[in-house]
Structure 1
Amino acid sequence: MGLKQTEAVTSIGTYPISKKDAKLYMSFMYVAFISLFIGGLMGLLQTLVRSGKLTLPAGIGYYQILTVHGVILGLVLTTFFIIGFQFSFISKSVGISNKQRKYAWLSFWVMLIGTIMTATTILLGKASVLYTFYTPLKAHPVFYIGLALVIVGSWIAGFVNWHQLYSWKKQHPGEKSPLPAFMVTINMIMWFIASLGVAVSVLFLILPWSLGYTATVNVLLTRTLFWYFGHPLVYFWLLPAYMAWYTIIPKIIGGKIFSDSLARMSFILLLFFSIPVGFHHQLTEPGIEPMWKFIQVTLTMMVVIPTLMTAFSLFATFEITGRKKGYTSLFGWFKKLPWKDVRFLAPFIGMLFFIPGGAGGIINASHQLNSVIHNTIWVTGHFHLTVAASVLLTFFGISYWLLPHLTGRKLTPQINKLGIIQTYIWTIGMTIMSTAMHIQGLLGGPRRSNFSEYGGTDQAHEWIWYQLAQAVGGTILFIGIILMVYIFIKLTFLAPKGIEEYPLAEEEVDAQPTPAWFDNWKLWIGITVALILFAYSMPVMDMIQNSPPGSPPFTWPIGNN
């Protein structure tokens, strides 16, 4: 065994991170930041091609770089960063044993092998199918096998996280789960249940078709299974940002967690309403009864509740902390927030981006409004506001203290200043690019297109200024990526040796006790499964029963009948 877990734990961050632990967590970070550079470069090339200012050399296809950009940033960067961060987050509160660490390493290597397999097929031009891998677009079988390995590796990480909390609970009977462990457990439960959909789609539908065992594929069913996974994927990205907002930011500003119970309830509600809502991505697709679309749109709107709970909790923390420091005027507490600390500034700007991002999400999920912007580049702009702005800025903010904590170095004033510059560069670039995408989308600009497909047309002349703005914004963002990679190198290898705090906040001393029923995992998982069965059982049965002739939905490997 590694760290012994025998003493009663009253502190949220009692367990230290050993050198062996740090090596594991940093391995995930290395892959994440390499992915940031590669995916960012592909994004820059995309914007330049769309503006008509660049022709790709050596026969490289536009959709090839689009797929690299989507897969590397949307799946690889996020998943590796999240799992590395979550391992450190949960281990800080409940510890990690030698056996658990070995399985954590297994998860890393399985994910890395899958990533290499998938990336190879894309670079060879065998898998230009976008990160959604929508059928009837077909990729090489190795692409799908690689993605399956990435998912399996993440499942192993989830099982390790659950066992960490289980081991802690056995040694601390009757005690509530530490908040970080509770949050990680919720996120990995959601991820496991959601990724079952894409696993079923890949293993039983797409892979047999890609291998030639079946002549056709049930397009509607594969898309439905993808979006069963694809929408909670966004929350898999977002919940680690929420973890930092709830538990890290209060410590950085010198405060405490406003309400442990409110934080847990918001995570539980996000678990309930993140998965059974995929139809709001398929509002224009035939073959799904309008009633089921309406039900899932209604469930989608329910996520507004935990989102507003989070906003209330955060600003309550800001105000209470400021008033405890003696700032009595109406907004004095706001003025005195640590704006010159990049650990606070980057996540806070990420929170601000989430306001228009959330408003755009309501539009995307509204049937009538969705018909205006569906499959336009508006959706891409929304996607960048939520994931590439809110989530990534928070991940950058986490990096400024997590990397030096793991590598035994210091966040120096010079690096902090560079981080502030990087944050503003990212903010300017993302504002320009996403705004241009939203406007072009309202004018009917398609979601995935390049200049050569529309050059010389009336639409191209109408959109050209917005495409040029996207290229300008994308260029600024790539400068921000280069600076962030430089900061990563500094914090990992070059900054002065020292001790950097893992800033986990404590709960308010006079806070109401957290009810024991928050740890009733059978209840929360049961309600989630019930909602999923209610929202998906009948529509999916209908898709299977009415699948096109010659494409049995689950054929392995009986042939082409």
Structure 2
Amino acid sequence: MTTAVTSKEVKQPKLQKAKNSIENEKIIKVDRKDAKLALAHMYVAFGALLLGGLAGLLQVFVRSGAFQLPFGIGYYQVLTVHGVLLGLILTTYFIMGFQFAAVSRTAGPLSNTQRKLGWIGFWVMTIGTVAAAAMVLLNEASVLYTFYAPLQAHWIFYAGLALVVVGSWIEGLSQILRYAQWRKENKGQTSPLLTFMAVVNNLMWFVATLGVAIEVLFQLLPWSLGLVERIDVLLSRTLFWYFGHALVYFWLLPAYMVWYVVIPKVIGGKLFSDSLARLSFMLFLLFSIPVGVHHQLTEPGIDGFWKFLQVVLTFFVIVPSLMTAFSMFATFELRGRELGGKGAMGWFKRLPWKDCRFLVPFIGMIAFIPGGAGGIVNASYQMNQLIHNTIWVTGHFHLTVATAVVLTYFGAAFWLIPHLTGRKLTSKMNSMANTSGILWAVGMFIMSGAMHIAGLLGAPRRSEYSTYGGSEQAAEWISYQIAQAIGGTILFISILVIIGVVINLLWFAPKGEEEFPVAEAAPGGGKTPAILENFKVWGVILAALIIIAYTIPIFEIITNSPVGSTGFKLW
């Protein structure tokens, strides 16, 4: 087996010795036709990264008070570009491309029908992306973060993003069909873990996006087309956050796929527990959806009991997160001690710190610790009152999604893209990739740290500097706005380095074979219980939780709304 970085290029003798012990192992490659489908998603994802990153850079410059946008471009126009391209387009395209590759690698090549569905979904998503982007560029959709009333966008914007969701449904169906085919062909066997994880993530996405689909079809589209005069904002926000919080876990679970299955192989170790990994994913499926109301703690119209219930359900998601942390660091310690690590932390030094396939995702893992702590603050009744609608929330978001998640995506892309293109991750590209991860960590520490502090001082989120006026508070916030601009500049430099590495791996790196790392389960882990793959049981539990958490709140919102303002009719 060839490796991403040879011992001649990077001095890691003990790690290299372990790799050499499986030198003759055959690399299992993603089917070439499936690789083309996965690569198409990567092109769009990293194009969105460059444009969305540029929009983010312009944002922090404007917020510093030292820069004005040229050519009549509006601040909220740039904010929408940044949010939609990075929050929806980059993530959705990368996730679907990665999952197609993961399913093909572990469950076998897609059938012609499954692959055709994948391509149909890709083009539906792309048409929707172009339509939505056109409205943003024409300044007809400067609505901050997608489907959030009372801000109104052109109907084409809503229709375009709806097509992105529908396209992702079609792609997810393709992956689920491949899983079902594998189960049929291998009755009684435990399915490949990566394929199972992709199915769980798709199921969560299907259920979560029902909320935003209802909002768009029955409220936002009729409203933006002028068919109804007004809509119920509380109902639209409740439907949005039914989707919006689960969206975070749609982003996160592919990173967890890499952490659980790929990283142990990269360091030469084993998957700590197949059963634990599957259970954590099922728990994420259960606890990621019926919790959206914790984003609406300050909004009237929802009874406090239901807010409290969903806050409690929100905290349950800490359990699979801690399970994941335990599993990962147990894997790291076991492997570090195999390589000769002694003492309490000697194993830590033995990890492959010069390998970008490990280092870049590991930085993301570490960022998730303070990010998760900030999430506890956001979801807590009293503490939420302090930081609600301040730039603290934006700083939290950039630690979790924009660091923990996307750095893991980048770390995966550095081996996935050459695997799909038949090229090699060279020593030079490995070093550049590591540099990009370190730059990202430094830039995010400065920018997100400044956002957190400014938020505690009351600085609002989503506001450009000019709206602060000449108040004493504005003068107090300005130094933190400048720090955000410095951090954002470093982050954009990191993006340029990442784009350079990706371009090299797509078209210029030397031909060769790069591994798609998939770890085997550690011996002695026991057989995975069949209940973990019984989606009927878990589906019933999920449906029950959603019904309990949302039926009465939504019924009360609709019945208490002024006549004609909901977009729904009650008979």
TM class, shorter-length = over 0.9
Measured after TM superposition, the shift of residue 330 of structure 1 is 2.0
Pairwise CA distance, 1:16: 3.4
Deviations 1:140-190 (A, max 9, x none): 000000011000000001111110010011111111111111101110000
The runs of 5 or more residues in structure 1 that have no matched partner are: 1-12, 557-561
Q: Distance in 2 between matches of 1:187 and 1:392?
A: 17
Q: 2: distance between equivalents of 1:455 and 1:546?
A: 38
- What corresponds to 1:73 in structure 2? 86
**Which secondary structure state, in structure 2, belongs to the residue aligned with residue 233 of structure 1?**
helix
Is 1:409–1:497's contact at 8 Å kept on the other side of the alignment? yes
TM superposition shift of 1:552: 3.9
Cα shift at 1:15: 6.1
1:508 corresponds to: 522
* 1:20 counterpart letter in structure 2: K
Distance (Å, rounded) in 2 between the aligned partners of 1:499 and 1:518: 35
Alignment equivalent of 2:106, drawn from 90, 93, 108? 93
1:32 aligns with 2:52: no
Q: Distance in 1 between matches of 2:41 and 2:261?
A: 22
Whether the 8 Å contact between 2:340 and 2:350 is mirrored in structure 1 is: no
CA distance in 2 between counterparts of 1:456 and 1:476 reads 29
Could you say which residue in structure 1 is the equivalent of 2:149?
A: 135
| Residues in 2 aligned to 1:198 and 1:300: alpha-carbon distance in whole angstroms | 20
The C-alpha deviation readout for 1:81-100, integer Å capped at 9, x for no partner, is: 00000111111111211211
**Structure-2 residue corresponding to 1:369:** 383
1:61 to 61, 74, 84: 74
- Alignment partners' CA distance in 2, 1:392 and 1:406: 20
Measured on the aligned residues, the alpha-carbon RMSD in Å equals 1.2
2:483 is aligned, of 469, 472, 483, to: 469
1:428 aligns with 2:445: no
TM-score by length of 2: 0.94
- Give the letter for the 1:100 counterpart: Q
Q: In 2, Cα distance between the equivalents of 1:16 and 1:170? A: 23
Question: Does the aligned pair in 2 maintain the 1:544–1:553 contact within 8 Å?
Answer: no
Structure 1: which 4+ aligned runs deviate by more than 4 Å? Answer: none
Deviation for aligned residue 1:57: 1.1
Alignment of 1:37-436 (within 5 A): 37-95=50-108, 96-436=110-450
Q: Match of 1:10?
A: none
Aligned length: 544
Q: What code does the residue aligned with 2:452 have?
A: H
- Give 3-state SS (helix, strand or coil) of 1:73's partner: helix
SS in 2 for 1:248: helix
1:501 CA drift (Å): 0.5
Instruction: Give, in whole Å, the separation in 2 of the partners of 1:525 and 1:184.
Output: 16
Give the AA of the match of 1:221: L
Change (3 A) 1:382 1:300: same
- Alignment correspondent of 1:536: 550
- Aligned partner of 1:42: which letter? A
The 3-state SS of whatever aligns with 2:142 is coil
Q: Pick from 481, 487, 510: which aligns with 1:496?
A: 510
Q: Distance in 2 between matches of 1:106 and 1:238?
A: 25
AA aligned to 2:535 is W
State the AA in 1 paired with 2:47.
I
Q: Is the 1:258–1:317 Cα contact (8 Å) retained in structure 2?
A: yes
* Distance apart, 1:14 and its partner CA: 9.0
Partners of 1:309 and 1:408 in 2: how far apart? 36
Q: Aligned with 1:286: secondary structure?
A: coil
Distance 1:470 1:326 in 2: 42
Work out whether 1:519 is the aligned partner of 2:561.
Answer: no
SS in 2 for 1:240: helix
Q: Which moved more, 1:265-274 or 1:453-462?
A: 453-462
Q: CA deviation at 1:555?
A: 6.1
Give the aligned partner of residue 4 of structure 1: none
Given that residues 205 and 555 in structure 1 are in contact (C-alpha distance below 8 angstroms), is that contact kept between their aligned partners in structure 2?
no
- Residue 447 (1) aligns with residue 488 (2): no
1:482 to 496, 511, 534: 496
Deviations 1:268-325 (A, max 9, x none): 1111100000010000000000000000000000011000000000011111112223
SS at match of 1:176: coil
Q: Which amino acid aligns with 1:54?
A: F
